């Protein structure tokens, strides 16, 4: 199937383009971007031009930042195209609800993708936790913003989410692997004096049986930490490296062959399946937790951030 | 039907107690509150004691502040009781989703009440707007926090919502009367230096045909303003006094007899109907818009607030 990619920035070049190139399902047939292009692929700067010029391209994948995403997604859906959204699926929860209603109305596929849910050992972690009684659950997501988001000024603006941009990846895994629902009860957001979005966050959640805490931090130099630890009455699970590795009681669990594929190739395999079935996959739970943190969080100002 | 009221504070005394007393459907059979009581009504300080002592009371109405509400609501639902929630229905969207799932599981009624939707002229405004093309839509919600929230320190804390406590009333009317969905595109939140919650907010929304703006302000002395103005290609609608009065092209529209009943009596009539039918009414749209404003809003610090 032919697909168009909208927003040729860092994440498109690093992940989307190679994943589409390696996929048996997809052919990259056009790009839309103010500046970016992909060699050998028809390039447009306006979505409307691409949609008009290529009625044969039935699927559009959006990797622009969240704030401009709604208008582009709505335009593609109104033009009868299936749409995949990078995470988070929008700048607001309300626009995601509107978009889902629009996709139902136009009978097209809409896929709110969460790439971290496709990390290699997430399914195994979910399966292991399914019948365990949780007593303590800790998420530690600490990375260096300068290393992962060079020059991305929008992440510090309203709607850019700050440290919740990676934090929502953790939340997308958590909401996938935990059998019981959680909800935020308290949060502290550390916001640099010269920014609108937090650089650090500490979150406490209610859960039927466990104490649940999360720490997100964008000031981590040296080793980067993306870990989830689940203590249960029948042992302890650790998801390491953002879900790529799994330990049960300290013992490393093997990967299966499919796990080697990588997150974005699996997203595009999911997209092919959703389009074939005419389905919508728009799980907003990770984004709801982020909105809850912005609503309920206690803000403290911290030292200015300069890239 | 017998009903118990949890949280005997200002809103309970001003609205819930007299509305229940005047209702043909309800009898106030017990209260639960740390300090407040209602003369002649069995008083408890713990919900669990009341639930144990009164298995015959099948319905519980919660008018505690949003932050402690979830635990009380979940306890009542797990005890098989029907539950009505004051607005907003919780401190987080996620807990509201969890609560709704719990109510379905226990087959009880759950009612997220929005009292402003029951203002006298809201149904007439909704009916008039249903077939009009909107060109401009403006909400002005300006009141004096000192007059309406004396001594309520929780409104300034995280989760207290600040000026969105009244603003969510406007949003509950807007989401009821507008036929098309809106979503926030930009917001400024003015937060007093010594508070966590905003005292003023300016909001801009996307709509299929109209420019939509809202101003919420808690610093209004003198005349209080709760107005919604809708310009359409077929005339202008004004909802005044929080929905109690309606003008079409400047001409005052008459109230019908039922409109004289008042907001809270209508909420309790709705509750009686929902319980009789075994239904859940948990519309989170107003709260989603508030969460969107906290997520997407640009914060500016303003002068400290002292009551």
pLDDT in tens, A196-225: 999 999 999 999 999 999 999 999 999 999
The whole-number pLDDT of residue B65 equals: 87
pTM value is 0.95
The whole-number pLDDT of residue A158 equals: 87
pLDDT in tens, B27-65: 999 999 999 999 999 999 999 999 999 999 999 999 998
Contact A284, B295 (CB under 8 A): no
pLDDT value at A257 more than 70: no
CATH 3.40.50.720 segments of chain B = 2-112
- Residues of chain A positioned with their CB less than 8 A from the CB of B286: none
pLDDT value at A259 more than 60: no
How many Å lie between the alpha carbon of A207 and the closest alpha carbon of chain B?
Answer: 10
Catalytic, B126? Answer: no
- Residues of chain A positioned with their CB less than 8 A from the CB of B185: 91
CATH 3.30.360.10 segments of chain A = 117-254+291-302
**Integer CA distances (angstroms), B139 to A99, B98, B184, B244, in order:** 24, 31, 14, 15
Q: Which of A139, A166, A143, A168 is nearest to A227 (CA)?
A: A139
Q: Does domain B2-112 have CATH number 3.40.50.720?
A: yes
pLDDT in tens, A94-150: 999 999 999 999 999 999 999 999 999 999 999 999 999 999 999 999 999 999 988
Q: Contacts from A199-206 at CB under 8 Å and sequence distance 24+?
A: A199/A145, A199/A162, A199/A163, A199/A302, A199/A305, A200/A163, A200/A302, A201/A163, A201/A164, A201/A167, A201/A293, A201/A297, A203/A293, A206/A182, A206/B70, A206/B71, A206/B95
The whole-number pLDDT of residue A189 equals: 97
How many Å lie between the alpha carbon of B284 and the closest alpha carbon of chain A?
Answer: 10
Q: What element of type H or E holds B65? A: none
Rg (CA), chain A: 19
Counts for chain A of helices (H) and strands (E), in that order: 10, 15
Q: What element of type H or E holds B110? A: strand B110-112
Low-confidence ranges of chain B (pLDDT < 70): 255-260
Fold type of domain B117-254+291-302:
Dihydrodipicolinate Reductase; domain 2 (3.30.360)
Cβ separation B95–A206 shorter than 8 A = yes
Which of B92, B186, B292 lies nearest to residue A93, judging by beta carbons?
B292
Contact B31, B63 (CB under 8 A): no
Q: Read off the pLDDT of each residue in A266-292 and give the average, rounded to a whole number.
A: 98
Q: What percent of chain A has pLDDT over 70?
A: 98
Take residue B242 and report the two structure tokens written for it. 């929080």
The whole-number pLDDT of residue A31 equals: 98
| Chain B residues contacting A via beta carbons under 8 Å | 70-71, 91-95, 97-98, 101, 158-159, 161, 181-187, 196, 206, 285, 288-292, 294-299
pLDDT value at A256 more than 80: no
The whole-number pLDDT of residue B45 equals: 97
Q: What percent of chain A has pLDDT over 90?
A: 91
Query: Model confidence at A159, in pLDDT bands (50, 70, 90)?
Result: confident
ipTM given for this complex? 0.94
């Amino acid at each position: 199937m032919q697909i168009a990619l909208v927003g040729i920035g860092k994440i498109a070049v690093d992940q989307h383009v190679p994943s589409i190139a390696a996929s048996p399902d997809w052919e990259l047939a056009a790009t839309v971007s103010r500046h970016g292009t992909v060699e050998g692929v028809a390039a447009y700067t306006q979505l409307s031009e691409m949609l008009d010029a290529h009625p044969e391209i039935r699927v559009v994948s959006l990797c622009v930042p969240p704030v401009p995403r709604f208008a582009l997604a709505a335009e593609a859906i109104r033009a009868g195209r299936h749409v995949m959204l990078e995470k988070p699926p929008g700048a607001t929860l309300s626009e995601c609800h509107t978009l889902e209603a629009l996709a139902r109305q136009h009978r097209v596929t809409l896929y709110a993708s969460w790439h971290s849910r496709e990390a290699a050992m997430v399914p195994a972690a979910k399966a292991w936790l399914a019948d365990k009684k949780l007593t303590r659950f800790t998420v530690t997501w600490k990375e260096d913003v300068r290393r992962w988001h060079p020059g991305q000024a929008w992440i510090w603006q309203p709607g850019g989410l700050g440290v919740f941009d990676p934090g929502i990846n953790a939340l997308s895994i958590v909401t996938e692997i935990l059998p019981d629902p959680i909800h935020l009860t308290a949060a502290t957001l550390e916001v640099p004096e010269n920014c609108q979005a937090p650089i650090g966050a500490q979150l406490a959640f209610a859960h039927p049986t466990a104490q649940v805490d999360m720490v997100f931090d964008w000031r981590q130099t040296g080793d980067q930490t993306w870990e989830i630890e689940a203590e249960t009455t029948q042992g302890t699970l650790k998801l390491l490296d953002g879900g790529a590795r799994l330990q049960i009681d300290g013992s490393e669990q093997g990967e299966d062959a499919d796990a080697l594929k990588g997150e974005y190739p699996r997203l595009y395999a999911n997209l092919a399946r959703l389009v074939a079935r005419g389905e919508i996959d728009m799980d907003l739970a990770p984004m709801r937790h982020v909105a809850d943190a912005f609503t309920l969080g206690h803000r403290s100002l911290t030292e200015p951030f300069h890239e």
